[in-house]
Amino acid sequence: MTATGTVPAATTSTLAGAITAGLREAMRRDDSVILMGEDIGPLGGVFRVTAGLQDEFGADRVRDTPLAESGIVGTAVGLALGGYRPVCEIQFDGFVFPGFDQITTQLAKLHYRSGGRLEVPVVIRIPYGGGIGAIEHHSESPEAYFAHTAGLRVVSPASPADAYSMIQQAIASPDPVIFLEPKARYWSKGPLPTEPIDPADAAGLQSARTVRAGRDITLAGYGPTVASLLSAAEAAAQDGVSAEVIDLRSVSPLDVETVAASVRRTGRLVIAHEAPTAYGTGAELAARIAEECFFSLEAPVRRVGGFHTPYPANTHEHEYLPGIDRIIDAIALSFEE
């Protein structure tokens, strides 16, 4: 495996196209990288993220599998122990649960159970989140289940640039990685990196990034909510509120220090994610900020997320999702305390 990659040929891309480009770069760099999943070969997957890769690398390295998520993950564990770096695609978020036992009881624990002797460098790609008008079991946000499981990295890119670099960093990681892809943002466009990336640099797998500077309040999120937070920050600016926006990028581990450094300056924090607010990533981050920044906070930490109900029918999903209006309401409440 070489230390650095090449610069992407395109200067801009959709988020889905950036993942495709990142997968291609990782496969060119390392012959041990194998893609596995349902309909990922000639079809290119439901969202066409693997389109063209089987033509380029062959059916041995881009493998169509049976419709059996437990079998996909279990096979990937065996391949990883045999020296390969499998990348599994789960068609939709709600379909990951048949493979949940393999992920949480085998994949997450083998390194610890072996006293560090075994590595299982498996990436589980999961299109997740709502906003596309899908049917039941196609709009879940299951990140808290995996973040609660020690031994797994859980990450989610919010931009094409991060999607391109983070998928390569995930594949190069010696740890198993749950790679959550915000499906509602698959078609959003943005610039790609202009410098070669070092896949061994795991910054995107553990470090948050400030995407908008501000002085009055901190807004934090990841994946699909980052764009909503940026839009809410723009709206707040019209009312004279300067909002700093932080893209967490990693759900586990959480980069608490980047958020804490911001909150110590702004005194306020709003956290947004599509998953239910109850027992979610926002609850963990809010607790950590309360512990570390108690005397800096000017108002309680506010969380904006899904409700504690099953994901609704698509005709009602925009009432469920944390849209710009709900984020702005949370910002306003932070200044009323």
Give the pair of three-digit tokens for residue 264: 């110590």
Active site residue: 137, 138, 148, 318, which one? 138
Give the pair of three-digit tokens for residue 14: 């959709």
Please name every residue paired with 181 in a beta bridge, in sequence order, or none if there are none: 127
Q: Which residues of 150-180 are buried (b: 16+ CB within 10 A; e: fewer)?
A: ebbbbbbbbbbbbbbbbbbbbbbbebbbbbb
Residue found by looking up tokens 């202009």 in the block: 194
Euclidean distance between CA atoms 94 and 139, whole angstroms: 7
Is 305 within 8 Å of 275 (Cβ atoms)? yes
Query: What is the number of alpha carbons within 13 Å of residue 112 lying toward its C-beta?
Result: 11
Torsion sign (Cα): 22, 24, 25, 30: positive
The phi-psi region of residue 269 (left if phi > 0; otherwise alpha if psi is between -120 and 50; otherwise beta) is beta
The DSSP code sequence of 237-297 is HTTT--EEEEE--EEES--HHHHHHHHHHH--EEEEEEEESTTSHHHHHHHHHHHHHTTT-
Euclidean distance between CA atoms 99 and 70, whole angstroms: 4
Q: Which residues of 191-218 are buried (b: 16+ CB within 10 A; e: fewer)?
A: ebbeeebbbeebbbbbebbbbbebebbb
Q: How do strand 243-247 and strand 209-212 relate by DSSP bridges?
A: antiparallel
Q: Catalytic annotation on 138?
A: yes
Euclidean distance between CA atoms 162 and 256, whole angstroms: 19
Q: Residue 43: how many CB atoms within 10 A of its CB? A: 13
Q: Which residues are catalytic?
A: 138
